[in-house]
Structure 1
């Protein structure tokens, strides 16, 4: 669903003014360690499967819903990889709406389903190697796409005694 009733109601009140939106994005790898990207309708850039958190929804519920709507895949979010936001994550939609996203990026494992845009938002879904990822609409940091970033051994607890 391109815009929910909740955000549509806000837009009716504030027009195209800047709206801060809590959001989620998914990094989903296939068995070849390629990452899934979606090409949204009316955009020249690619994106991770992503979207806004709706009122009453947890971030984990939002990522499962958004991934299913945009890709036809059911996923299990296994880890928060990063929390991103600020001026770099401002975006102006073709209709003139201004947004600034605060994004919780999840590592997600595919549980079931097949690649198909359920809500019509994605016109193309494709897995890319991390070296050949497409041009993205938002400036996600490169480290999130590196395979090493997904290994549990990469995350070491901080030792405050040293």
Structure 2
């Protein structure tokens, strides 16, 4: 597996648009509230997750990214969906088409975060989500309409 794949790629292409693959998940507590992460790059709420390293599977990336971003040890439970039609513009001027695979997980440890904030939210008290793609996953989850592909 190649480490720092995006950094290496960005050194070659700069801010040019690229296609990236992401994995993350929706983690629900016993009240069916979902865990959201306040991201430092956008200073806004979204689902925890991140980019796959070259040669890494989506389930392994999901587990690794949730541990890195939330301090939680999780396991993949089921496929939530695949989203392929979203272009993300980052604050640093990077542009990427985000191909995202989200997986539902179970928690095996208490939260200890390196992010700005982590909090569980109910369906009727969701904060503004930083991008449409994450909102689509959240909507499919709460509507029990998964797995899906778009």
By the TM > 0.5 criterion, same fold?
yes
Which structure 1 residue ranges, 5 or more long, are not aligned? 156-162
1:129 corresponds in structure 2 to 122
1:49 corresponds in structure 2 to 48
The equivalences for 1:115-154 within 5 A come to 115-117=111-113, 120=114, 122-139=115-132, 140-141=135-136, 142-146=138-142, 148-149=144-145
2:65 corresponds in structure 1 to 66
Q: Name the CA distance, whole Å, in 1 between partners of 2:59 and 2:14.
A: 29
CA gap of 1:20–1:132, structure 2 versus 1, over 3 A, is same
1:93 corresponds in structure 2 to 90
Question: What per-residue deviation string (whole Å, max 9, x for no partner) do you get for residues 125-158 of structure 1?
Answer: 00000121121122132532316447xxxx8xxx
Question: Root-mean-square deviation (CA), in Å?
Answer: 1.7
TM-score by length of 2: 0.87
Q: Name the CA distance, whole Å, in 1 between partners of 2:31 and 2:104.
A: 16
Secondary structure in structure 2 of the residue aligned to 1:85: strand
TM-score by length of 1: 0.81
